[in-house]
Amino acid sequence: MNFNNTIIYFVRHADSTFIPDMERERGISEKGKADTIRIIEILRNEHIDLFISSPYERAIETIRGSAIEYEKEISIVEDLRERAIGVIPDNGFTAAKRRVYDDFNFAYPGGESSNHAQKRAVEALRMLLDKHQGRKMVIGTHGDIMTLMMNYFDKQYSYDFWSSSTMPDMYKMEFKGDILVEVERIWS
pLDDT in tens, 160-177: 999 999 999 999 999 999
pLDDT above 70 as % of the chain: 98
Q: Which residues does the chain have with pLDDT short of 50?
A: none
Q: Which are the contacts of 1, defined by CB distance < 8 A and separation ≥ 6?
A: 7, 174
Report d(CA 54, CA 154) in Å as an integer: 22
Closest of 88, 139, 150, 94 to residue 117, by C-alpha = 150
Q: Report the DSSP pairing between strands 179-185 and 169-176.
A: antiparallel
Q: What is the pLDDT of residue 18?
A: 78
Q: What is the pLDDT of residue 23?
A: 79
Give Rg (Cα) of the chain.
16
pTM as predicted: 0.94
Query: What 8-state DSSP symbol labels residue 20?
Result: T
Domain covering 6-85+113-185, topology? Rossmann fold (3.40.50)
CA distances from 122 to 10, 159, 178 (A): 13, 18, 11
Q: What is the pLDDT of residue 6?
A: 97
